[in-house]
């Protein structure tokens, strides 16, 4: 009899503890819940990157050049490792000879990847491939755009 009473008491305590967690979670706003989900997703991605030898933002800080450092973000783009050039997509025009994407580093435009960028400062890499995504940059972005945000700008 005492054992049954003890088990019922134990089950009651455990279920009340779990129900408290649910009540606390319901008190969060939608914005707070989205923020928690983003943090959780970032932590999962961070673990995946660390397994591959990359930093928390998917950048290989030991790479010989910028292109090889952000290789994880380039997807199926073709890369010339000796010259450090990327071809995201072929330009649509026959009269156009530009095959290389536009590089946007903290809002500044470059035709080729800059050598002076510190790989440890990279915090976000976005690769725009489609015409709809690259319309913002007009003719300069017709072969694709690689946007990099560094620690200097993200603070």
**For residue 47, what are the CA distances in angstroms to 38, 53, 70?**
14, 10, 17
pLDDT digits (tens, 9 = 90+) for 6-47: 677 767 677 666 655 454 556 888 898 999 999 999 999 999
Mean pLDDT, the chain, integer? 81
Query: What six digits make up the tokens of 20?
Result: 């408290």
Pairing label, strands 78-80, 85-87: antiparallel
C-alpha gyration radius of the chain:
24
Question: Among residues 83, 73, 145, which one has the least CA distance to residue 108?
Answer: 145
Sign of the CA dihedral running 82, 88, 93, 96:
negative
* Phi and psi torsions of 9, nearest 5°: -65, -45
Q: What is the pLDDT of residues 117-153, one digit of tens each?
A: 889 999 999 999 888 888 899 888 888 899 999 987 6
- CB-based contacts of 49: which residues, under 8 Å, 6+ apart? 55, 56, 57, 58, 72
């Amino acid at each position: 009899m005492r054992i049954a009473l003890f088990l019922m008491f134990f089950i009651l305590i455990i279920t009340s503890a779990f129900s408290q967690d649910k009540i606390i979670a319901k008190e969060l706003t939608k914005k707070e819940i989205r923020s928690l989900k983003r943090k959780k997703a970032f932590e999962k991605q961070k673990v995946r990157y660390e397994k591959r030898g990359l930093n928390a933002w998917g950048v290989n800080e030991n790479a010989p050049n910028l292109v090889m450092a952000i290789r994880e973000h380039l997807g199926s783009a073709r890369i010339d490792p000796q010259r450090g050039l990327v071809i995201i997509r072929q330009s649509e025009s026959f009269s156009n000879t530009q095959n290389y994407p536009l590089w946007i580093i903290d809002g500044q435009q470059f035709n080729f990847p800059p050598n002076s960028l510190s790989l440890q400062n990279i915090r976000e890499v976005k690769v725009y491939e489609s015409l709809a995504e690259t319309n913002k940059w007009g003719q300069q972005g017709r072969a694709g755009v690689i946007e990099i945000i560094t620690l200097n700008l993200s603070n």
